[in-house]
Amino acid sequence: MATTRDGTPRSSFAKVVTSSLIGTTIEWYDFFLYGSAAALVFGSVFFPESDPLTGTLLAFGTYAVGFVARPVGGLVFGHYGDRIGRKKLLVISLLMMGASTFAIGLLPGYATIGLLAPLLLILLRLIQGFALGGEWGGAVLLVSEHGSPRHRGFWASWPQAGVPCGNLLATAVLAVLAATMSDASFEAWGWRIPFLLSGILVLIGLYIRLAVSESPVFLEAAARAEKARTSEGAVERAPLLLVLRDHWRELLVAMGVRIAENISYYVITAFILVYAVQEAGVDNGTVLNALLVASVVQLVAIPLWGLLSDRVGRRPVVAFGAVGVGAWAFAFFPIIDRGTFGALLAAAAVGLVLHAAMYGPQAAYFSELFGTRTRYSGASIGYQLASIVAGGLAPLIATALLAAFASSVPISVYVAAASVLTLAAVAASPETRGRDLAERPEPDGAADPGQAAGSR
């Protein structure tokens, strides 16, 4: 049987990559669907007593709530993922995300149940964010820990491609609905259809995800930890405590690398729906179609940037992307102002290709920063903590800046400032390309033989 460089059967490795890609696609479909609906209809459905821009701000406020829950999910899922395995936690995250998204599709609006409607919407958004907080780390670690160091950047980028795949799927469904029904019908009931479709997608993802094997790197590390506990009476410390004590620098690097990537992405894919419709006078269908094509372009770009990071290193590729999005932010809005489909496509596609330079190598980059028994916690917490101040607030901040200054320039400055922070994080980071994840040293005290059972 053909095997990868580390001895994993190629058929099994392909199954791992496929399951991670499909699982992340479904979860990001659910998450992005909410963002698109927040921009298009949630303001009027759940906050009808506000003017249009204020209603959009309130809807994006509930959107940001999901980002607040993500680090909590990363912490909880990371802890148990480092203790009992990656696969079990991925199944749980998929079920939670699917159930909450399906429930949003059934949720009555403000006109039916009043204030309870936005409150329930916030609760379901919190569950979405909590589930997604655990999804990313487990999905990318399964691929990273099954594969070989030589091609890790390329293969680990495929779960990353689940982000544009999910956005592509969500945008495609919304674009079809926008083209086949009136605005009044879409606002009244049509927006619920994509949320209800999530139930079918989750069943498909669950079937595929249950078929994959656990990470061999994790199983080896767990066996070593168990041997230390039984033969030496060692007590294994909580992964979160080990990350905060021994890997706080790596944690800050991961957060810094995420800032420009996360902010630029949500400005390009979520805030564009607000700016293009309300400022450039473009109809929803045209914007959604442009995003649809741009997401296809990004889907191709992500693994190519991951492949390049295997050749030249993670840091140069990420730095290039940070510089690129910082500069492009000043061209992005003037191009949209032209109001044509071609202009919208160019603005979004170039922005997403530059974003992909930061996002493609990210899975391998973060996996290589931490040891096996703290990797799920460290990668997830670093990834998700940054999302609170970055992507979670990006559409809200961008909308507020537009309302305050009536100009896109402050938004461009905002994105450029984020790029500077990411460049600083990259400069402070070591190059991680080629590290053997099975040989990453565990932090001192991961299994402390001095803390023997019954001793003090």
Can you spell out the DSSP letters for 215-257? PHHHHHHHHHHHHHHHHH--EEPPHHHHHHHH-HHHHHHHHHH
Both tokens of residue 57?
Answer: 């701000």
Do 446 and 371 meet the contact criterion of CB atoms below 8 Å apart?
A: yes
| pLDDT for residue 248 | 85
**Which tens digit of pLDDT belongs to each residue from 390-428?**
877 888 899 899 989 989 999 999 999 999 999 999 999
The long-range contacts involving 45-52, CB below 8 angstroms and separated by at least 24 positions, are: 45/109, 45/110, 45/117, 45/187, 45/191, 46/109, 46/110, 46/117, 46/118, 46/121, 47/110, 47/118, 48/109, 48/110, 48/111, 49/110, 52/278
Rounded to 5 degrees, φ, ψ at 42 are: -65, -30
The vertex-89 CA angle with 64 and 101, nearest 5°, equals 40
Half-sphere exposure of 311 (CA within 13 A, CB side): 7
Is the confidence at residue 442, as pLDDT, over 70?
A: no
Please report where in the chains the tokens 């293009």 appear, as a residue: 276
Would you give the distance in Å from CA 68 to the centre of its chain?
13
Residue 260 vs residue 394, higher pLDDT: 260
pLDDT at 129 exceeding the cut of 90: no
Cβ contacts of residue 9 below 8 Å, gap of 6+?
Answer: 1, 2, 3
* Residue 34 binned pLDDT confidence (cut-offs 50, 70, 90): confident
Q: Pick from 134, 128, 131: which is nearest to 62 by CA?
A: 128
CB 379 within 8 A of CB 367: yes
3-state helix, strand, coil in the chain (%, to 5): 80, 0, 20
Percentage, residues of the chain above pLDDT 70: 86
Q: Which of 397, 408, 405, 393 is nearest to 330 (CA)?
A: 408
Q: Are 429 and 313 in contact (CB under 8 A)?
A: no
Q: Is the pTM for the entire model greater than 0.85? A: no
Of 437, 413, 386, the residue nearest 251 (C-alpha): 386
Q: What are 148-198's pLDDT values in tens digits?
A: 788 899 988 988 888 888 877 887 887 788 788 887 888 788 888 988 988
- In the DSSP assignment, the letter for residue 447 is E
Residue-wise pLDDT tens digits, 69-87:
888 888 888 888 888 777 8
